Amino acid sequence: MTTSTASRYAAEYPLIAAALPGQTLPWLRHLRSAALEQFSLQGFPSPREEEWRYTNVSGIEKKLFSPSLALTADDVDAEWLNEHKIADAWVLVLVNGRFSSELSVLADLPVGVSVMSMADALNTQAEKLEPYLGSAASHLEHGFIAFNAAWFTDGLFVHVPSKLVLERPIQVLHIVTGADVMTVTRSVIIVEESAEAKVIETYISRDGVYAASQSGTDSTAGVANAYLTAAVTEIFVELNADLTLYKMQSESEKAYHFGGSYIIQNRDARFTHHNFAFGGLLSRNDIHVDLGYASECELNGLYLGTKRQHIDNHTRIKHLKAHAISRELYKGVLDGRARGVFQGRVIVAEDAQKTDSQMNNRNLLLSDDAEVDTKPQLEIYADDVKCAHGVTVGQLDEKSIFYLQSRCVDQETARNMLTFAFANEMVDKIKIKSLHDKVLEQVLIRFPQEGVNKEWL
């Protein structure tokens, strides 16, 4: 990304700075100022940077996206919104990057639990946020994090006190209703000692491209909005705590999406991440985890690309202390001229003896023009570890297709069944029934599934 583009954004910054949350807090003003300076120097990442060599975000240069400074909740139809809410969950709704209290469902939270917008948290719990905001995601790492730190308009704040187990999940529902807008959100999730929680991040748009392909009733069918999403989530899982994070991104087919989750785990902490990347013209997902002593993390991912989509998944797991365990499985299905990227990096520090780490990436290419770049990396500085990684890239197994044909299944149906079975392994890992059904629906509408009976699933 050229510095001229960065300077264009920087020139617009004074016009919106006063409307950003937390401007009365000196420590936050300092963070925003440092991030703005860093972004002005380096701009958005470019393929010249090693960890961005497969992803070119220069398409953002064609437009100067603007933040939405006014809440546009009236643009959101309540019936449509209910289709995307998770049943029996607390739901925080962000419309064009800003919290909507009338669309959210936050009643009956247990005593001591905080679930609120970032803007409200900066007004009422700034002293609690100060040690955390910006400590897991450094604005020096790359341009998108710096951009997010300077421009974020709102987000989610979750604090679960020690020894409390949340029986219901928390959903943050990101909705974009317009074109040429940018939604920049920063979220902080803190799960204290021996507490447990489940959080769901959902990213959707109101242009109705995929929804309309099912029902045929949405008048906006075929009208895809171009916009920019830049979302950063900082997560802190304390001693013996347990957090499961789900992310489903099914945004407009012309959208640009950057989503980063940055996790710090304390001793004996457990973290599980399920990442489903379906939408966007270009999307990039960062999942970076720092593991403490005897902690555990599991990263699961499914990315489905069609047409000319570009989907980049970048994971980094740092084993900082001994006896930690990490498991990672990412699967991709690519059709048309879609391109997938998987960069998985496991770093084992010198003090991280007895590390146990496994990483796998499996890819299925459905057309001759689809492409995947996969780059697994192991950096091991300890001498008593067990680490392994594996990668596969291929097409459907002709022997399996022939076997199904020999059982009176036509070739097209056989191919559909095998494709679905490959992807459905990741969907079946979802333990929340209503979320499982919504993710399954997104899988089914993106690939032809003639011969796959939904009632069987």
Of 274, 378, 373, 261, whose CA–CA distance to 318 is shortest? 378
pLDDT of residue 398: 72
Based on the fold, state whether residues 284 and 424 are members of the same structural domain.
Answer: no
pLDDT of residue 78: 83
- Per the domain annotation, does 263 fall within a domain? yes
Residue 416 above 90 pLDDT? no
The tokens describing 179, both together, are 């074109």
- Per the domain annotation, does 189 fall within a domain? yes
In whole angstroms, how far apart are CA 335 and each of 52, 136, 308, 441? 22, 35, 9, 18
- Per the domain annotation, does 224 fall within a domain? yes
Span 144-160, mean pLDDT?
97
The tokens describing 447, both together, are 């690939």
Exposed (0-12), middle (13-18) or buried (19+): which is 164, by Cβ within 10 Å? middle
Span 395-404, mean pLDDT?
70
pLDDT of residue 167: 94
- Give the number of C-alpha atoms closer than 13 A to the C-alpha of residue 243, restricted to the C-beta side: 32
Q: Using N-to-C axis directions, what is the helix angle for 3-16 and 143-151, rounded to 10°?
A: 10
pLDDT of residue 452: 60
pLDDT of residue 47: 93
Based on the fold, state whether residues 11 and 142 are members of the same structural domain.
Answer: yes
pLDDT of residue 216: 40
The tokens describing 170, both together, are 């928390």
Q: How far is 219 from 340, CA to CA, in rounded Å?
A: 31
Of 250, 289, 248, whose CA–CA distance to 271 is shortest? 289
Span 354-377, mean pLDDT?
95
Look-up of token digits 């963070």: 31
Identify the band that residue 445 occupies on the pLDDT scale cut at 50, 70 and 90. confident
Domain region containing 99: 3-291
Report angle CA 222, 148, 175 to the nearest 5 degrees.
30
Q: How far is 202 from 413, CA to CA, in rounded Å?
A: 31
Number of H helices, E strands in the chain: 10, 20
Based on the fold, state whether residues 106 and 239 are members of the same structural domain.
Answer: yes
Among 291, 313, 343, the domain-final residue is: 291
The tokens describing 426, both together, are 């990741």
Based on the fold, state whether residues 420 and 285 are members of the same structural domain.
Answer: no
Based on the fold, state whether residues 147 and 285 are members of the same structural domain.
Answer: yes
Based on the fold, state whether residues 423 and 281 are members of the same structural domain.
Answer: no
The number of residues making up the chain comes to 457
Q: Where are the beta strands (DSSP E) in 48-106?
A: 66-67, 90-95, 98-105
Report angle CA 92, 96, 97 to the nearest 5 degrees.
60
Beta-bridge partner residues of 387: 357
**16-51 pLDDT, tens per residue?**
999 999 999 999 999 999 999 999 998 999 999 999
The DSSP 8-state label assigned to residue 73 in this structure reads G
Q: How far is 154 from 369, CA to CA, in rounded Å?
A: 40
Based on the fold, state whether residues 223 and 97 are members of the same structural domain.
Answer: yes
Look-up of token digits 């928390």: 170
Residue 213 above 50 pLDDT? no
Among 247, 268, 291, the domain-final residue is: 291
Look-up of token digits 């242009």: 207
The tokens describing 433, both together, are 């029934």
**239-281 pLDDT, tens per residue?**
999 999 999 999 999 999 999 999 999 999 999 999 999 999 9
Number of domains in the chain: 2
- Per the domain annotation, does 297 fall within a domain? no
Span 69-73, mean pLDDT?
59
| C-alpha torsion sign, points 96, 98, 104, 109 | positive
At 14, phi and psi to the nearest 5?
Answer: -60, -25
Residue 217 above 70 pLDDT? no
Residue 3 above 80 pLDDT? no
Q: How far is 154 from 11, CA to CA, in rounded Å?
A: 21
Q: How far is 222 from 424, CA to CA, in rounded Å?
A: 27
Residue 221 above 50 pLDDT? no
The tokens describing 200, both together, are 């769901």
Structural element, H or E, at residue 434: helix 433-446
pLDDT of residue 396: 73
- Per the domain annotation, does 334 fall within a domain? no
In whole angstroms, how far apart are CA 191 and each of 161, 243, 332? 7, 7, 31
**83-117 pLDDT, tens per residue?**
999 999 999 999 999 999 999 999 999 999 999 99
Based on the fold, state whether residues 123 and 262 are members of the same structural domain.
Answer: yes
- Per the domain annotation, does 332 fall within a domain? no
- Per the domain annotation, does 219 fall within a domain? yes
- Per the domain annotation, does 313 fall within a domain? no
Q: How far is 25 from 403, CA to CA, in rounded Å?
A: 66
**298-346 pLDDT, tens per residue?**
999 999 999 999 999 999 999 999 999 999 999 999 999 999 999 999 9
Among 250, 272, 291, the domain-final residue is: 291
Of residues 211 and 186, more confidence is placed in 186
At 89, phi and psi to the nearest 5?
Answer: -140, 155
Span 375-397, mean pLDDT?
92
Report angle CA 262, 314, 368 to the nearest 5 degrees.
155
pLDDT of residue 66: 83
